[in-house]
């Protein structure tokens, strides 16, 4: 990797694994650690993790981004992005930097830990799809509507095993922040990543940042061949809204116009850019937020907030009745501004999976920043095209701002004198067990399609304070879906999970695998898996099995005992496996397609065990 990006959610575990692997110093060219999710120091365990990450960064060679300095993806885009370089991040929205012509991929913490030590990143070669853009966005239509249109067409499963490379004359009409919004939310399609060319628009953006020397042109070869092509006319896109439950439940704004909302938000790594903040300000300037609405803004970075203050936006927003929160992920993963029970929340964010906002049975709608601003004024979801002349976004003369939020590491000659401080909640990383030759396991839980990592290991304040303590975090596994799951898993001494399509979609949350491993789960049997979560399972020594005939899913019940003979030897030889249901006597076949490296990691009991053994495997 050229660069590695760490967050405070998966970062503590990545650093703990980096230490456990025995690396003396970071070897990737640039590593940056960000405190952007659990910024609010309402519990000493949060602050303990911040201190651990800061001291570990100083000792091992990472730049440290302090709490409040901004969301990792935006700060990285502003400060460290280099067109043509490869950045690996411990967060699923790392592809945002694809808006600046980087190859930016979100990965699991164990893979990131290996990359920190200079190791390569392995993945099956994705299909490369060219998304050909023509036309230009119309009035009141934004880049958020572009990615919502792609989600409407393709669903959250539409990007599995694919990279989207954007091209065509329409690209030149999009600014880098607009491209970043599209690339960022491509994660909701299940894409490996999205990438835009680095062109004159990119150069102008780097010039505003004072980093024109880092710019370079990057564009696809004229004779490049693609696996597929999607054509999209920007002029035909209209304002869109995703209904509660999933980012792909997309409808025209007119279908939900008039729906009363109590909470409206603009921000997150998807919609917290200068353009979002400027456009919102122009819509609400001189007006008042509706009395029934709480309107909250999350600028993506301290730099953006500083420039907003310098350019007068902050005063106009405060006068309108908006609340400007810290430059954090904040409400997106349910860590602040949790909506009232039963209330409807309209958000220019990226995800609206059930319960993600921090309250059960939430009703979160996703939209663009312009739909959000118009709705904040009326108290109901509104079509912004009814609000007269659209705002025209203007950039400041410069995005120059303070770098006080970034702390450099100690030089290598002095690093050994720095103490890495671990608070009492920070626990050693457990090591998985090698795969056994035969497996007989109880089905601890049977669940349906589209199970998210929020379902498996919930976000929110209560759980995420334990992100550096796997045994404690394991106590939250499936808590929202089945409060008895943990007790059942412990009583059975472990077992197996059975699931439907796209198991593990959403956040890259590593605890959705490590927590199950700590509870003794040996395998997950599903119709299909989300890419990052499947990698997480392998790296934590949990076998991801797929039904060869999806119809066999219906024959399995929770509480069944499933037996697999030759479990290890058939995985080693990459053969299909026969499963016997001891309750019914039924037999069915499952598969576990693995690369050579994945196979050896899994058989060893996970990446940490594999690395400790000094094993080397072919791709």
Q: What is the CATH number of the domain that holds 300?
A: 3.30.499.10
Tens digit of each residue's pLDDT (9 = 90 or more) over 541-573: 999 999 999 999 999 999 999 999 999 999 999
Q: Do 300 and 70 form a contact (C-beta atoms < 8 A)?
A: yes
Domain termination site, one of 88, 122, 156: 122
Q: Which domain holds residue 258?
A: 240-386
Task: Copy the structure tokens of residue 305.
Answer: 């907030």
Residue 618 lies in a domain: no
State the CATH number of the domain containing residue 478: 3.20.19.10
Residue 23 lies in a domain: yes
CA 134 centroid distance within chain: 29
Same domain? For 100 and 216 the reply is no
Residue 428 lies in a domain: no
Same domain? For 600 and 474 the reply is yes
CA distances from 458 to 249, 274, 377, 482 (A): 22, 31, 33, 12
Residue 392 lies in a domain: no
Q: What is the DSSP string of 167-211?
A: ESGGGGGS-HHHHHHHHHHGGGGT-SEEE--B-HHHHHHHHHHT-
Same domain? For 25 and 171 the reply is no
Instruction: State the DSSP H helix or E strand holding residue 329, giving kind and residue range, or none if neither.
Output: none
Sign of the C-alpha dihedral, residues 483, 484, 490, 493? negative
Which of 327, 350, 308 shows the shortest CA–CA distance to 183? 350
Same domain? For 83 and 145 the reply is no
Which of 239, 186, 269, 183 shows the shortest CA–CA distance to 370? 239
Which class for 287: exposed (0-12), middle (13-18), buried (19 or more C-beta within 10 A)? middle
Which class for 189: exposed (0-12), middle (13-18), buried (19 or more C-beta within 10 A)? buried
Question: How many other CB atoms sit within 10 Å of the CB of residue 231?
Answer: 10
- pLDDT over 80 (residue 450): yes
Same domain? For 118 and 131 the reply is no
H-assigned helices in 251-344: 268-271, 274-284, 302-310, 313-320
Q: According to the model, what pLDDT value does residue 191 have? A: 96
d(CA 412, CA 89): 23
Same domain? For 244 and 230 the reply is no
d(CA 56, CA 16): 9
Same domain? For 533 and 562 the reply is yes
Q: What is the DSSP string of 57-85?
A: HHHHT-EEEPTTSB-HHHHHHHHT--TT-
Tens digit of each residue's pLDDT (9 = 90 or more) over 454-478: 999 987 777 777 888 999 999 999 9
How large is the C-alpha radius of gyration of the chain?
24
Decide: pTM greater than 0.85: yes
- pLDDT over 90 (residue 432): no
Domain termination site, one of 95, 122, 149: 122
Same domain? For 277 and 147 the reply is no
Number of domains comprising the chain: 4
Same domain? For 314 and 380 the reply is yes
Same domain? For 382 and 479 the reply is no
Whole-angstrom distance between the N-terminal and C-terminal Cα of the chain? 17
Task: Copy the structure tokens of residue 299.
Answer: 């600028």
Residue 417 lies in a domain: no
Residue 551 lies in a domain: yes
Tens digit of each residue's pLDDT (9 = 90 or more) over 106-156: 998 888 998 999 989 988 899 999 999 999 999 999 999 999 999 999 999
Domain termination site, one of 237, 269, 286: 237
Residues 411-435: b if buried by 16+ CB within 10 A, e if exposed: eeeebeeeebebbebbeebbebeeb
Q: According to the model, what pLDDT value does residue 21 have? A: 82
Q: According to the model, what pLDDT value does residue 619 have? A: 44
- pLDDT over 50 (residue 509): yes
Same domain? For 497 and 591 the reply is yes
Same domain? For 368 and 506 the reply is no
d(CA 287, CA 24): 57
């Amino acid at each position: 990797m050229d660069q590695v990006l760490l967050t405070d959610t998966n970062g503590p575990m990545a650093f703990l694994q980096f230490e456990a692997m025995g690396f003396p110093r970071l070897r990737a060219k640039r590593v940056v650690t960000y405190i952007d999710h659990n910024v609010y120091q309402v519990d000493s365990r949060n602050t303990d993790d911040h201190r651990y990450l800061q001291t570990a960064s100083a000792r091992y060679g990472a730049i440290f981004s302090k709490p409040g300095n901004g969301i990792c993806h935006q700060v990285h885009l502003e400060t460290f992005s280099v067109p043509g370089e490869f950045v690996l991040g411990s967060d699923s929205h790392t592809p945002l930097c694809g808006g600046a012509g980087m190859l930016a991929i979100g990965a699991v913490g164990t893979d990131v830990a290996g990359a920190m030590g200079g190791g390569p990143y392995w993945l099956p070669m994705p299909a490369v799809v060219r998304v050909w853009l023509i036309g230009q966005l119309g009035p009141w239509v934004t880049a958020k509507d572009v990615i919502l249109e792609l989600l409407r067409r393709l669903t959250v499963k539409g990007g599995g095993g694919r990279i989207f490379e954007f091209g065509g004359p329409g690209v030149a009409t999009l600014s880098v922040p607009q491209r970043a919004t599209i690339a960022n939310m491509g994660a909701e399609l299940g894409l490996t990543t999205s990438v835009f060319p680095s062109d004159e628009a990119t150069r102008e953006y780097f010039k505003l940042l004072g980093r024109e020397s880092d710019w370079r042109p990057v564009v696809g070869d004229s004779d490049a061949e693609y696996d597929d092509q999607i054509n999209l006319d920007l002029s035909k896109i209209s304002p869109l809204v995703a209904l509660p439950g999933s980012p792909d439940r997309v409808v025209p704004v007119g279908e939900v116009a008039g729906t009363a909302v109590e909470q409206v938000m603009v921000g997150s790594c998807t919609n917290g850019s200068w353009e979002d903040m400027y456009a919102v300000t122009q819509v609400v300037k001189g007006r008042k937020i509706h009395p029934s609405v709480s309107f909250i803004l999350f600028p993506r970075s301290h730099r953006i907030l500083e420039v907003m203050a310098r350019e007068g936006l902050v005063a106009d927003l405060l006068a309108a009745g908006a609340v400007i929160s810290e430059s954090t992920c904040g409400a997106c993963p349910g860590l602040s501004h949790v909506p009232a029970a039963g209330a409807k929340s309209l958000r220019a964010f990226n995800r609206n999976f059930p319960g993600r906002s921090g309250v059960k049975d939430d009703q979160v709608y996703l939209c663009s920043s312009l739909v959000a601003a118009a709705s904040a004024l009326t108290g109901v979801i509104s079509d912004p095209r009814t609000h007269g002349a659209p705002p025209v976004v203007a950039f400041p003369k410069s995005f120059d701002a303070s770098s006080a939020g970034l702390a450099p590491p100690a030089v290598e000659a002095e690093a050994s004198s720095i103490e890495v401080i671990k608070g009492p909640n920070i626990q050693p990383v457990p090591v998985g067990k090698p795969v056994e030759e035969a497996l007989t396991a109880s089905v601890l839980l049977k669940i349906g399609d589209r199970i998210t990592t929020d379902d498996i290991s919930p976000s929110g304040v209560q759980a995420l304070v334990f992100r550096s303590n796997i045994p404690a975090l394991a106590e939250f596994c499936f808590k929202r879906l089945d409060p008895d799951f943990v007790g059942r898993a412990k009583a059975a001494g472990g077992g197996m999970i059975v699931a439907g399509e796209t198991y593990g979609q959403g956040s890259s949350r590593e605890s959705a695998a490590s927590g199950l491993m700590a509870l003794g789960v040996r395998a997950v049997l599903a119709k299909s898996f989300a890419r990052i979560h499947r990698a997480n399972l392998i790296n934590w020594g949990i076998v991801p099995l797929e039904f060869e005939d999806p119809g066999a899913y219906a024959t399995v019940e929770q509480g069944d005992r499933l037996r697999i003979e030759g479990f290890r030897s058939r995985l080693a030889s990459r053969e299909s496996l026969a499963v016997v249901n001891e309750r019914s006597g039924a037999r069915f076949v499952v598969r576990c397609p693995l690369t050579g490296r994945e196979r050896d990691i899994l058989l060893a009991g996970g990446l940490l065990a594999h690395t400790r053994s000094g094993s080397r495997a072919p791709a």
